[in-house]
A = this chain, B = another copy of it.
Amino acid sequence: MNVEEIIKTSRPLPLAPRTIIHMALVQNKIEDSMGNALKPFEVSTQQFNVLRILRGQKGQPANLFTLNERMVTKMSNTTRLVDKLMAKGLVNRTQCPSNRRKVEITITEAGEAALEQMDRAVTGAQDKLLEKFVEKDLEQLNELLDKF
């Protein structure tokens, strides 16, 4: 990935702005790749993320606050995101009996099954994205990202 070529700029960029732009370009590529992997399942990366969180709950229900807290990209409207997963039959939503303000969201069996397929697709996409990285590169990259 050559930054200057992609944004068609003639002059070389100073290192700091180049890094920021580089990050954006790579993130675009990652989102594109993940989106394509999930396209057959008609779920967004956000929805996929929620399904994974719910599976991680191991049967224990999650409420909207918990979901929002654990999402990679927090968003203001988790209600409607869950609505869409409900409409697809991938999750259940019930009112919490002990505190009726809360909702209890769980993944359905259909959701678990679909998620397994999605996982395969996404893992494949990620492996492809990272194919040029050796273990040491990934460690180094994670260390550098920690500096942000």
Asked whether B145 lies within 8 Å of A20 as measured between CB atoms, the reply is no
When each residue 1-39 of chain A gets 1 if its CB lies under 8 Å from chain B and 0 otherwise, what string results?
111000111000001111111111111111000100000
Asked whether B129 lies within 8 Å of A20 as measured between CB atoms, the reply is yes
Minimal Cβ-Cβ distance residue in B for A24:
B72
Interface size of A as a range:
35 or more
Query: Is there a chain B Cβ closer than 8 Å to A73's Cβ?
Result: yes
A19-B142, A70-B8, A142-B18 are known contacts. Are A24 and B25 too (CB-CB below 8 A)?
no
When each residue 99-118 of chain A gets 1 if its CB lies under 8 Å from chain B and 0 otherwise, what string results?
00000000000000000000
Separation of A146 and B1 alpha carbons in the complex (Å): 5
Consensus secondary structure, chain A interface: helix
Asked whether B28 lies within 8 Å of A73 as measured between CB atoms, the reply is yes
Taking the nearest CB of chain B, how far is it from the CB of A49, in angstroms?
9
Query: Is there a chain B Cβ closer than 8 Å to A139's Cβ?
Result: yes
Q: With a CB–CB cut-off of 8 A, which chain B residues contact A7?
A: 70-72
Minimal Cβ-Cβ distance residue in B for A20:
B126
Taking the nearest CB of chain B, how far is it from the CB of A34, in angstroms?
8
When each residue 121-133 of chain A gets 1 if its CB lies under 8 Å from chain B and 0 otherwise, what string results?
0010011011011
Separation of A18 and B22 alpha carbons in the complex (Å): 19
Minimal Cβ-Cβ distance residue in B for A138:
B15
Cβ contacts A to B, 9 pairs, < 8 Å = A16-B138, A20-B30, A21-B72, A22-B145, A23-B145, A24-B27, A25-B72, A26-B145, A28-B72
